[in-house]
Structure 1
């Protein structure tokens, strides 16, 4: 007999709501198939999977507080005040529903829409995978006036579900220890969890998420009654909005809830973040297409009606109307279909039309009812259009030069012979001296060298027409072959690796930051597809007799000096690449057999945007605060 229980809304959520799809056996054999990797990303995914279950309870209106605790031993617990996992015997498995959910892959209430109308966890693999990949897991359930507990080890129950006391509340606590034999590391990053938990609190207004790190005695609480409106305010906190209020609306059509918050800034790049059922759809999808279409249509219609655009002038492009835009689009739908390489692109075809029509209608009314803000937005878009016209000429000039020869980049680019992206690479080298050494030392077959004169412009503070007027940037665009902005086409990329090689001093770090700002703002796909690298030249050369050793960090230097006995040695500190001859530069920094390259990756797009805005934007105060907060982490200081 199956005992039924009511949740906080009076809805029946019982063992019958749990559907069993398949067994758990494959998870430990191929963990990467289920959580993406066994590195840090996969490790943190374990926490997300458990939190997703609690968020689903919040979406159903039966949970408002989630507490995540990281313990000294790197175990983690996730506690919520939802309805609690059902404890009754499951009719299909003959085990308690708690044990069923935790030991059978894809056993859960998300596959039956009667239990959860909208689910974020549907994209995930379930708490059973967390159990399978944990050294141990303890589940505690508060339900029916009692508290239950069951313990598992590597996905197998080692105790029965037992009553351990009475409870006047409901909810679930999952406490787990990741398996050291599976993961490369079990050390959780507080910052990584902080970014994700803040994001989840923004996306689910009113929910309280508490993150407690007992290792470092840090406790943070995320609770935003404004939801994604607060999210846009947070993203823009170091930017300068051009209209005061965040434009916000929420509506529903055909069981799809569409929520949008947007605000224009005086910047030149767009920042649109889209979510479907709380999943960050970093590759966009049909909801993003609907949003873009609606914004472009609404602003053009308003511009035509009130003569911001003359009769013979062309329409504003999507690029024009999105310049300086910060927007968060969050939709909730019953049956999301995810596509793309990382399953982070929404594919539901009907969603585009729903999002387009709802947002167009809302924006149309907003522009009519707010003429002051509308004029500011239209003026910026028209200004962007004029800049785009000027930039088009510069782009066309750059495109005409895309077939390189000695007449296009005289004395700059030393090209390589290979056109095979799997092996060829281009070094962006600071200064003529280092550029000369790099050209002499390189392997001409697959290594190209492009020396850059001085510091490139700070593109954070410039529109694309100004960016394209800068010679060093034009040289890079021409060399890469991809074009820029709306003309960007990664299929035309001429080098598999683009390597930033600057001096190991403050000026070199500044040039590296300027280049990364350029790539992030105007060629982000090169970073996302793994084409941008940073060379790691040595900091020191230690000589003792005929023995020469290169050191790439202060710790490495200390270890070498201890190994050499700290007698009869000399140290050379390299402040510039030009201090090395061609052979030394190749051996230490360019030879694939011996060099160290760092691949540039975006682990958190919102945080990356905030850092570039802080470091390279107009506002001084956020930059000062950043420096004060991070000064203690400086390792190499030039005085």
Structure 2
């Protein structure tokens, strides 16, 4: 009622007119809306600051003037990036009337990447990198060597502290940038993750053959094996593909590599097949990871399918009456890196996740058609292995299609197409509803009784679940452990998966906090990642966090979710009668009201959302945990088993 009164009595000074239109000038706009420039102010955005500065050094390498980049995580989680490029120009800018260094660090859309001849190829297309990092830093210092003098300037929250100064003499060239992210912006924390930075820098080293990138962690708590890593790959993206396949069984030894160079562009593709059933295609344009693909990826896929079909027809492996192999058949088990470098890259938005240059499709398609076709002619043994795998995949796809149609017919004949063990909710609005996939009938019974029936559905799982990492899609349809999950969610799987048909907005995995529970969670996450990936990408998958302990003294009851929390509660209870501590071995030990209070009540529960930060890392993790190779899994568990609390995918 108060809100209605406020709306109907707007005072005259609150009139909406030209006086209310605010113009944010320069870096003020970046500080006001940082997410528009770096995606978010979470950990992802924090690390993005490093990428922006490193990308500037990489651009110097692309131009042929930089061979070494040093990235240092300082003790206070500030960052120093040093390169041996040409150094930012230090003269007075003819238009702005201030030093060019200050222009680069304080003006949006200022840089040498707009056709002025400074860079032929660049990832930093929009010219906002250095200035955005400066705007979002508590302080930033830049030191430049131009072969004669050393220059220095400092900024605080984007504003220059004094002008550019000459502080010494040198015969070297290069740029050093030292910055401390601003705690006023990054409120979730300012701690850098060594592994995240290492993954990104390794990627850049693969994409730029021969460049030396070194990462050093100067923090005192850094483990010895993570103090420093030197990344240099003379084999470029060939070595990248070998790295992607290092935990997999490859079906041909040598990586296939093709490239094409034109006056204003360059394209290269490296590829190798493994005995798995999933494809991993990573595409890049001017060193930017185009996670949503684009014209270069489309051109590659089209040409690959054509080359394999043409070879299969020519050699008689495909008979005249046989249908052509489809694209997904030809890509089963493929690990591939596509890298293009163009003068005028057209990306979709500042996030640069999809390439739009139409001419690149033609260049990549022509290159793969001609050069992969030649490779197959010259290497018939490898060609036959590839075609055989595609034909096996085709037969499995047809079998999956028959199984899918059979499942649909069966569902249509039944009175209800939903699984018998599903306790559905009454609400149908998937922005509100959630389904708990629960391990075992005992826990399922408690969850069914304790839930809010309006918006919470319960699906108990039982028996041994299929490891989809070791199975083709034809084995998934009709599987009595996975079919109930597929049917309950209602969105299909694989290429037919449609997020718009999802029946529940939250898909919550609720399993015991023991080894068996961890196995169930990993199996389900593997299934979602391989066959329902948008479910994870759009943030619909959650992990329930049931308590480990119940602490009681008299009428006081408290729950602890970690060993440390248990100790804190015991300390808080202090002296007096010793509290009773119950260790929950499984969800079934909790009665319905306890399960609701601790794990299912939206007001009190703790849930972890599963985020897909890095598809390559996720692919690698699932391959290690659920694949055939024992040694990588043993090493993974030895290195991380004692420290893993939450698994970020």
Taking structure 1 as the reference length, the TM-score comes to: 0.93
Partner of 2:254: 245
Aligned equivalents of 1:369 and 1:402: distance in 2? Answer: 50
What residue in structure 1 maps to residue 376 of structure 2?
Answer: 367
Question: In structure 1, what is the Cα distance between the partners aligned to 2:152 and 2:351?
Answer: 35
| 2:95 matches 1:92 | yes
Q: How far does residue 492 in structure 1 lie from its aligned partner after superposition? A: 1.6
Q: Are 1:74 and 1:188, in contact at CA under 8 Å, matched by a contact in 2?
A: yes
Does 2:629 correspond to 1:619? yes
| Whole-Å separation in 1 of the counterparts to 2:444 and 2:610 | 22
Seen in structure 2, the aligned counterparts of structure 1 residues 427 and 62 have a Cα distance that, compared at 3 Å, is: same
Q: Deviations over 1:301-347 (max 9, x none)?
A: 11111111111111101111111000011111122222279541112
Q: Distance in 2 between matches of 1:581 and 1:124?
A: 59
Q: Give runs of aligned pairs for residues 302-313 of structure 1, distance below 5 A.
A: 302-313=311-322
Q: Deviations over 1:541-581 (max 9, x none)?
A: 11110111111111111111111115331111111111111
Q: CA deviation at 1:400?
A: 4.7
Displacement after TM superposition at 1:495 (Å):
1.2
* 2:583 counterpart of 1:573: yes
Q: Is the 8 A contact 1:402 1:478 kept in 2?
A: no
Residue of structure 2 equivalent to 1:15:
none
Unaligned runs of 5+ in 2: 1-24
Residue 198 of structure 1 corresponds to which residue in structure 2?
A: 202
| Equivalences for residues 514-553 of structure 1 within 5 A | 514-553=523-562
Residues 494, 123 of structure 1: CA spacing in aligned structure 2 closer, same or farther, 3 A cutoff? farther
The Cα offsets for residues 497-547 of structure 1, whole Å up to 9 and x where unpaired, read as 111010111110111011111111111111001111111111111111011
1:162 aligned residue: 165
Q: Equivalent residues in 2 for 1:32-111 (5 A)? A: 32-111=35-114
Distance 2:371 2:65 in 1: 30
1:592 aligns with 2:614: no
State whether residues 481 and 492 of structure 1, in contact with CA within 8 Å, keep that contact through their aligned partners in structure 2: yes
> Given the alignment, which residue of 209, 218, 236 partners 1:214?
218
SS at match of 2:94: coil
Picking from 558, 561, 571, the partner of 1:562 is: 571
- More deviation, 276-285/231-240: 276-285
C-alpha offsets along residues 430-458 of structure 1, whole Å, 9 cap, x if unaligned?
A: 01111111111212211111111133111
CA distance in 2 between counterparts of 1:113 and 1:280 reads 25
Query: How many Å apart are 1:265 and its aligned residue?
Result: 0.3
List alignment gaps of at least 5 residues for structure 1.
1-21
Partner of 1:283: 292
| Corresponding residue of 2:151 | 148
Structure 1: distance between partners of 2:417 and 2:186: 50
Aligned equivalent of 1:19: none
- RMSD, aligned CA: 1.8
1:201 to 1:355, Cα distance in 2 relative to 1, 3 A: same
1:339 is paired with a residue of what secondary structure?
coil
Does residue 319 (structure 1) correspond to residue 328 (structure 2)? The answer is yes
Could you say which residue in structure 1 is the equivalent of 2:234? Answer: 225
Q: 1:422 and 2:422 equivalent?
A: no
- Which residue in 2 is equivalent to 1:604? 614
TM-score by length of 2: 0.92
Whole-angstrom CA distance in 2 between matches of 1:401 and 1:124: 58
Q: Is the 8 A contact 1:536 1:595 kept in 2?
A: yes
Aligned to 1:262: 271
Pairing partner for 2:191 from 171, 183, 187: 187
Q: Per-residue CA shift, 1:398-429, capped at 9, x if unaligned?
A: 44567897644553111122221110111111
Q: 523-532 vs 466-475, which deviates more? A: 466-475
Distance 1:241 1:561 in 2: 54
Q: Cα deviations across residues 135-186 of structure 1 (Å, max 9, x unaligned)?
A: 1111111004111111111111112212211111111000111112221211
Aligned partner of 2:487 in structure 1 is: 478
1:129-144 → structure 2 map (5 Å cutoff): 129-144=132-147
Change (3 A) 1:411 1:70: same
